[in-house]
Structure 1
Amino acid sequence: MVYTFSYKKLYLFLFFIFGTVTACAQRTVVSGSVVDARTKKPIPFASVAFPGTTIGLTTNSDGKFSLISVKAQSRLQASFIGYKTNIISITPGATQEITIRLTPEAQELDEVVVKGAKRTRYTNKNNPAVELIRKVIENKEKNQPENYNYVEYKTYDKMQFSFLNVSTKIPEKKFFRKYKFIFDNQDSTTVPGKRLLPFYLNEKVSQTYYRKNPKDTRTVVLGEKGVNFGAAFDTEGIGGYFKHMYAEVNIYDNNIFLLTNMFLSPIAGASPTFYKFFITDTITTEKNEKLVELSFTPRNTNDMLFEGMIYITLDGNYAVQRAVLNINKNINLNFVKSMRVDLDFEQNPDGRYHLKRSNTMADFGLNKDKKGGLFGIRTLTFDNYIINKPLPDTAYRHESSLVSDEAKHRSDDFWRQNRLDTLSVAESKVYKNIDSLTNMPSYRRMVDIASVFLFGYKGFGKFEVGPASTFYSFNPVEGFRLRVGGRTTPEFSKRLMFETYGAYGFNDERWKFFGSATYSLAGKNKLIYKFPQHYLRASFQRDVKIPGLELDFIREDNFLLSFKRGVNDKYLYNDFYNFDYVREFENHFSYNLGFTKWTQEPAGGLYFNTLTPAGLVNDHLLTTSELSLNLRYAPHEEFYQGKIYRTPVITKYPILSLRYTRGVKGLFGGEYNYDKLVGRVDKHLFLSVFGYADIGLEAGQIFGKVPYPLLVIHRANQTFAYNINSYNLMNFMEFVSDHYQSVSIDQHFYGFFFNKIPLFKKLKWREVVSFKALYGGLRDENNPVLHSDLYEFPKDENGQPVTYSLGKTPYVEGSVGIENIFKFIRVDLVKRFNYLDNPNVAEWGVRARISFDF
């Protein structure tokens, strides 16, 4: 390889270096604390700013601050109610740490007599700060960007994640020496007092077009660039999850979504109920704008609320000109040591404001007292803002939401011309460093080992073995069960995937196995399970299953689910021949056309008996052939995308599904004609300071005469784990229906009540309540008591029925629980309210669940 160099390039290089040094020389960074001049105690929520600018903030609860200006600043001002404003000189263009002392405004007296002085009680009544915030609330609608008829603007989106305060001793250790080039790339200037080691970087430039009537928004991605961690990780999916945590902040919304939680905005309609407001300063900007600095703090520091300050214009618009949003250190939030959002607005020609820049920073760690951890920064910069300039209709028409290949492979010149922000020196090296890292054999081996613990699979290039959690399990029918399986990887083929497993039960001495082939129709280089999916899938499975058992994201032969309560001996051997055609669209509507041949054989204590004039007859096999159509609509759905799997990211939008199944008698041995219709709605409802609720509504109907294995066997749970989608005190096969309606509510209060109780407040426990009701029944044509040609409902060894139909009264159960125990355990006390006369049922139960939440 030959490298060429020229004097022109040398001059450009020197110009770049000189420009960088000059820019850094202008940068003024001041950190420190504000204290009472007499008592030396810190003053929380004091205002600190560079005079004559809008660059400022409030100190945290410990009186500390850190302030940055890209320009040289020579003075710093601090103020707080009841204290004299103090303006001090600082060194322009330098990084420095200082202590600012404020003197109380009260006049000195010769003699002071204290007689039980009481602290002034905060109240909203006759409070000028509250009156001002109500003015802001009244004018919210007209200050929203959507109030314009036409808007277009350019956005530069930069997302960065870094390791925080990595010890300088680590790269000197033998194991890490070969990775020293990674550890050398640390940044100590972006965030004062913190050393950042960036490992993830994603940049995106887009153009947005908005029209009010008819309402439409179109965003065109002009370019996107990001690191690539190799085949073991879906980097695009990781980036999507990061940006989901760092969602775009609109302070004019009543609720602000961050870190999978909803925070009440300080200018929400209900904000005076949950926040305290203080007028802390007035400012005149360089453009002669008059602003009021309004500081705010939560009434309860553990709730999902911000603290900080906002600058309000006094031009009659009462618009937000700047905002600083921090989270309190006492907030009931896991793994987040600190978080800050800076919003800067720019004035339009009509005098109103639009968001110019949004910067969100969060410090993550398992322990808030530790200095290490992760640090994430997302910066959004908006430019070329044009208002009320109509364009042709084609400018607003929806196009593909997917990023084009052209946008993913932009040149360096494109990024130099289109970045609306700059990369730090450390950020500019991330792409090359990660690329070098992924090409190292030692890194690949390390990732291969880690994937066994994280995902349960051991990779062998084009094939991987797993999941490890299913290698061994046990149940009453199979006894000890051993299983081994695997699947092909994208290295084998991006369009074709094979999956298989084999299992053996030492008690029933039977082999079980599974095999499937999936072929993508989405495109040559498109991963099979990547949105939007378009594939054909054929599979065969012979295995044992508990009727009515449905699990959340885990397999039935997971070792931990081997432990169950009560009598658990009724199983089915199933043979499934499946063929599916799946098609997803970019608007998140999808359909699935399927064919299933299903052969059931009773196992354990289960049997298929019919009563004939000659006596009981035991059928060994039940065969059905089904054609199905499944429709699903999940608007704005997002995924965390893995190599060959994906997990939905929770959003505020509902998920609608409708499934129609037709059983065809005589088709491939099918024994019954019937129709089955099931509809479901799922909604994640954000309730701001009151947490959130997961609501599920479902209804189903079977048309036709069928035996009980083809009825709806309602989802029961006899494990000791709390299952969100099942009835946790219902026994397996306890209830069957041919028509039903159900409702499920799982309410998480996120500590709203516990935050007021001292002990619970310290433990950061959170309260949770659930309610489930099931209406259902059985028509006479499907009642085996009235039709001897239908299978009898199962009975136990004493001849007592174990399967029933629901009467006029719905099945109801509810629970109260505590979650966030040790940050990941949920424990519920569950109560069953009716049908308590059925055999082997429990009125009360304790169930546990493991989940990781912020």
Structure 2
Amino acid sequence: MRVRACHSVNRLGILFPIWCVICVCVMTVSSAAQSVKNISGKITDSETGEPLPYVTVFVKVPGHSHKAASTDFSGIYHLAAPAAAGDSIFATYVGYKTTQKLLPKANPATVDFQLASDNKMLAQVNITPKSYVNPAWEIMANVVKHKAENDPDKLKSYQYESYSRLELSVTNISDKMKKRKLMRQILPLMDSLQKIAGEDGTPVLPVFMSETVSDYYHQTNPDQKAEVVKRTKMSGVGIEDETLISQIVGSSLQQYNFYRNYIRLANKDFMSPITDSWKMLYNYDLAERDVKIDGKDYYRLEFKPKRSHDLSFVGTMWISHDNYALYRMDVSVTPDANLDFLNKIRIQEQMTQPEGTSSWLPEKTRITVHVSNINPKWSGFLGKFYISNKNIVVNKIYPPEVFKEPLTMANDVTNKDESYWTTNRPEPLTDVDKKVYKMIDTVKNLPIVRTYADIAAMLINGYYRPGNSKFSFGPYLYTYSYNDVQGSVLRLGGISNRYFSENLILGGYVAYGFRDRKWNFNGSVDYIFSRKPWTEAGISFTRDLGQTGYQFENFSKSNNIFKASIRNGNLLRRGPFQQNELRAYVQTDVAPNLTAKLTTDRRTFDPLYNFDYISPIDGLHYRNYQVAEAITELQWQPGRRLLQSAQVNKRIALGGGTDNPVITIRYTHGFKGVTGGDFDYDKIAANITQKIHMGIFGKGEYSLTGGYIPSSLPSPMLENHRYNFNTMRFLEYVSDRYVALNYTQHMEGLITNSIPLLRSLNVRTVADLNVLDGSLSDANGGRPSNRRPTRNLEGTPYVELGYGLENIFKFLRVDFLHRVTHRDHVDEAGVPPSNFATRVTLQFRL
């Protein structure tokens, strides 16, 4: 027994030092752990709630130093703070006010920040000696020098899988608005909104959220793009067709290449911070020379425009040391840029360099758009886009079939499969994102919200659909009009919607004039045979007033406001006539960019003014007539994207933001003796229309039209030119062969941004040039008449010059137009023309 006891004691004596060592190590590790506090959190914009990447978070430590970390692209940071750190944590970033918060006692701790914007940065002026050489200039010169090797547009092709998410919210929820009936039903949600915004954030009410996964393809020679939408998921107020929305918010419409001199945003050209003319347009500051990110070194440059009112950016960019490539970009549109309605636009982008190339492509992009300047008392809207690209492949050769359709959708694009999203989201939904989805589902089912959505749809579409009705009433702009022929006119019309049929469309209207005491009416039937390719046909009958000055469809697209406005005013000077018209058509997309249309038309012409015509062919005398004709038309619009929808009964196309021209060719043949037609004739016409983006010089828009009528016809059937010439009198000039150019230059803020008063009003200058060169054959009365002044231009082109201001009160445009030629052309009464005209138009431009 003793021996065993002694043996046990000896074993304990041997193990005791080992236990002591272990205990010391554990205590040391524990002490070390207690000497570091782990802090994490998320940093967002206090106004928009957008995550803020690249923000510096730090704590102060003894020795006038600090321990810092940066947020990632999702605004998340992790900081290990030493035990000797102060009791506060700070967040700082260019363009925002530095924010300070107390450190919690817990370890680990969570500290979220909501940073407020600081617009004073643009007002700062740096005074430097003449001998000073900005170190940022050498870096910028090298960035421009290496554009060719870093620009993704220099690749033969590239493709990637893209995930995009869009969230729309209502902002500026004032106390007065909260008292309204609509908001009283939503008030129970306000506590949740405040928790989502954070203690320093501004609550917003989410009304729409979507997620989309697409495969995107881009080939540079020839320039072609294609997107395949593989899956989409969304929830929102007033959304009837998920597939349509997914095509509008897809990744291909959110592509920004800062290597280009100008960035197309909201259909305007913003000067890129790395434009070839960088030194003339921007000021730069080298904020940090050596920034190490994932083992690579970068320069960090801050920049701002030399004229803050121009369409430009302010922000920060990171440039790689080795090849001067753009790695990160964080830009905002300058707060006082000459824009309407948009309070804020911000783009944050992080690039990646795929294997096998020197070019860099976007890996992650975040776009924030805040609309809040319509009226200070009204609510605004906030849009937040997030795009993440992966599986990037470059310089692959594709078969032509890949780009046959610019946009296609998978058959199961709207399949409700949550496991798909769990697998394909680049990052899992946060608790906040899940709350947003749930909140939207709650809001959209409120009856009063659905009512407001119906009213908004009426304002946009022009038709109102009460409840679940299968018919929509409108367009409401035509409900009342007044003119000198009919007096007051009341009109009631409507059209069937998709709840009636997804293919058959019925429409019509009845109208009554209280002066002439006549009823007018219309009835139409249209049928959609195919949506891909789009093929439709229809037939209609109309009894109504026509106007010789606006008789034929012009190539320029006119909006409903214009069409409604010309039904008012002095119709007698425009050559009014009563007509019965039976029209039938068939239209199809021959190719994605090519549309063909065939129309047959039979109409009467019963003038309400003095008219007589003696045919030089058969000597017959006409005081009225009727025509029967067939019209064939081809339209080529390269870069157009046709949107696919099974629930919208009309063809929807997007221009794609390109500067490509739209070319239309039209041939008309009239048949004599067929269904009562009085004349046999031919007409040939063509038009080319284009919008040209010119960067700092604004945007030009032109329409070039040419026509030839080799037949003898009464003047109302020839080309009456008043449509696009405001200083020309109605029925003043007519041609049977002509070329017309209508050009407008929108100069944005090129001139007005340099004039203090005009700059503060945000108005913009425009210039107009309208030129017509035409002639009239002898068979159509080309020789001067002894009974009235000639209606022939007689070899001298008609020229009209104009200038004006747009964006007056954000909606008005005023043009002052001068008649340069034919200034002494008197009318039948011997009265010379007014050589000056003022044109006031309503328009919506950002």
TM over 0.5, shorter chain: yes
In structure 2, the CA distance between the partners of 1:135 and 1:784, relative to structure 1 (3 Å rule), is: closer
* Structure 1 partner of 2:537: 536
Aligned partner of 1:337 in structure 2 is 343
1:361 aligns with 2:368: yes
Instruction: Provide the residue aligned with 1:501 in structure 2.
Output: 509
Percent identical pairs in the alignment equals: 26
Residues 422/437 of structure 1: CA separation in 2 closer, same or farther (3 Å cut): same
**Matches of 2:460 and 2:221 in 1, distance apart?**
48
Q: Give the Cα separation in 1 of the matches to 2:617 and 2:537.
A: 48
Q: CA RMSD in A?
A: 4.0
**Residue matched to 2:9:** none
Residue in 2 aligned with 1:412? 418
Structure 1 residue identity aligned to 2:544:
D
Question: Alignment partner for residue 588 of structure 2, among 565, 583, 592?
Answer: 583
Q: For residues 509 and 676 of structure 1, do their structure 2 counterparts lie closer, same or farther at Cα, with a shift above 3 Å needed?
A: same
Alpha-carbon distance between aligned partners in 2 of 1:815 and 1:213, rounded to the nearest angstrom: 40
- Name the CA shift for 1:827/1:597 in 2 (closer, same or farther; >3 Å): same
Aligned pairs (5 A) from 1:459-474:
459-460=465-466, 461-474=469-482
**Would the aligned equivalents of 2:318 and 2:327 in 1 still touch at CA under 8 Å?**
yes
- Give the whole-Å Cα distance in 2 for the aligned partners of 1:619 and 1:121: 85
Deviation digits for residues 178-223 of structure 1 (CA, Å, limit 9, x no counterpart): 4457656537657973323211122211123455677755432221
TM-score by length of 2: 0.80
User: Residue 407 of structure 1: SS of its match in structure 2?
Assistant: coil
Distance 1:97 1:424 in 2: 17
2:573 is paired with a residue whose SS is coil
**Which residue is equivalent to 2:745?**
747
Amino acid at match of 1:578: R
CA distance in 2, matches of 1:736, 1:382: 57
On the 8 A contact 1:338/1:363 being kept in 2, the answer is yes
1:286 deviates by 4.0
- Is 1:164 equivalent to 2:181 in the alignment? no
1:698 paired to 2:705: yes
Cα distance, 1:437 vs structure 2: 4.8
Q: 2:370, 2:682 → 1: CA distance?
A: 54
Shift of residue 444 of structure 1?
A: 4.0
Counterpart pick for 1:843 among 835, 840, 843: 835
| Structure 1 SS opposite 2:232 | strand
Within the candidate set 702, 714, 720, 1:707 is matched to 714
SS in 2 for 1:266: coil
Deviation at 1:402, TM superposition (A): 3.0
Query: The residue matched to 1:515 in structure 2 has which SS?
Result: strand
Of the candidates 22, 27, 50, which is equivalent to residue 41 of structure 2?
27
Determine if contact 2:534/2:651 at 8 Å carries over to the other structure.
no
State how far apart, in whole Å, the 1-side matches of 2:592 and 2:116 are.
55
Q: Which amino acid aligns with 1:458?
A: Y
The aligned runs of 1:15-94 (5 Å cut-off) are: 26-29=40-43, 49=56, 55=70, 68-72=75-79, 93-94=110-111
Could you tell me which runs of 5 or more consecutive residues in structure 2 were left unpaired when the two chains were aligned. 1-37, 47-53, 59-66, 82-88, 119-124
Take 1:118 and 1:364, find their aligned partners in 2: how far apart are those partners? 32
Greater shift, 47-56 or 505-514, is seen at 47-56
Distance of aligned partners of 1:645 and 1:188 in 2 relative to their CA distance in 1, 3 Å threshold: farther
3-state SS, counterpart of residue 413 of structure 1: helix
**Alpha carbons of 1:429 and 1:679: their partners in 2 closer, same or farther (altered >3 Å)?**
farther
Cα deviation 1:772-830 (Å, max 9, x = unaligned): 101111122222759xxxxxx9x9xxx645x7122211111121111111111111111
Q: Does residue 269 of structure 1 match 2:276? A: yes
Mapping for residues 264-303 of structure 1, pairs under 5 Å:
264-303=271-310
1:380 aligns with 2:387: yes
Q: Which amino acid aligns with 1:324?
A: D
Deviation at 1:427, TM superposition (A): 3.6
- Partner residue of 1:3? none
Query: How far is 1:617 from its partner?
Result: 8.0
Matches within 5 A, 1:239-250: 247-250=254-257
Q: 2:801 is matched with which residue? A: 814
Residue from 444, 452, 464 that aligns with 1:458: 464
Larger radius of gyration: 2
| CA 1:275–1:556: 2 relative to 1, 3 Å | closer
Task: Write the distance in 1 (CA, Å) between the matches of 2:401 and 2:649.
Answer: 36
Alignment of 1:521-560 (within 5 A): 521-522=529-530, 533-549=534-550, 552-554=558-560, 558=564
Q: Is the 8 A contact 2:99 2:115 kept in 1?
A: no
Partner of 1:379, secondary structure, is strand
Structure 2 residue corresponding to 1:95, chosen from 112, 118, 132? 112
Pick from 313, 316, 328 the counterpart of residue 320 of structure 2: 313
Q: Does 1:143 align with 2:140?
A: no
Matches within 5 A, 1:603-622: 603=608, 605-610=609-614, 619-622=622-625
Distance 2:598 2:698 in 1: 38
Residue in 2 aligned with 1:831?
818
Could you tell me how far 1:563 is from its partner in structure 2? 3.0
Distance 1:238 1:583 in 2: 24
Cα distance in structure 2, aligned partners of 1:449 and 1:214: 45
Matches within 5 A, 1:562-711: 562-564=568-570, 568=573, 570-584=575-589, 587-603=592-608, 605-610=609-614, 619-638=622-641, 643-644=648-649, 651=657, 652-711=659-718
| Partner Cα distance (1:243, 1:695) in 2 | 30
Counterparts of 1:182-193 in structure 2, within 5 Å, are: 186=193, 193=201
* Whole-Å separation in 2 of the counterparts to 1:396 and 1:536: 30
**Structure that is richer in helix per residue:** 2
Cα deviation for residue 359 of structure 1 reads: 0.7
Change beyond 3 A, Cα 1:313–1:190: farther
Q: What amino acid is the match of 1:227?
A: S
Counterpart of 1:543, as a letter, is D
Name the residue aligned to 2:13.
none
- The structural deviation recorded for 1:670 is 1.8
Equivalent in the alignment of 2:520: 512
User: What's the offset of the Cα at 1:609?
Assistant: 3.5
Displacement, 1:365?
A: 0.5
1:648 to partner: Cα distance: 6.0
Residue 780 (structure 2) pairs with residue 763 (structure 1): no
> In the alignment, residue 316 of structure 2 is paired with which amino acid?
M
Would the aligned equivalents of 2:549 and 2:575 in 1 still touch at CA under 8 Å?
A: no
Q: CA deviation at 1:610?
A: 2.7
Q: Secondary structure at the match of 1:755?
A: helix
TM-score, length of structure 1 as denominator length: 0.79
- 1:636 corresponds to which letter in structure 2? G
Judge conservation of contact 1:677–1:700 (CA < 8 Å) in 2: yes
Q: CA deviation at 1:373?
A: 2.1
Q: Are residue 805 (structure 1) and residue 782 (structure 2) matched?
A: no
Distance in 2 between residues matched to 1:754 and 1:596, nearest whole Å: 49
Name the amino acid aligned to 1:420: P
Question: Distance in 2 between the 1:88 and 1:283 partners?
Answer: 28
Distance of aligned partners of 1:478 and 1:407 in 2 relative to their CA distance in 1, 3 Å threshold: same
> Contact 2:211–2:232 at 8 Å: present in 1 too?
yes
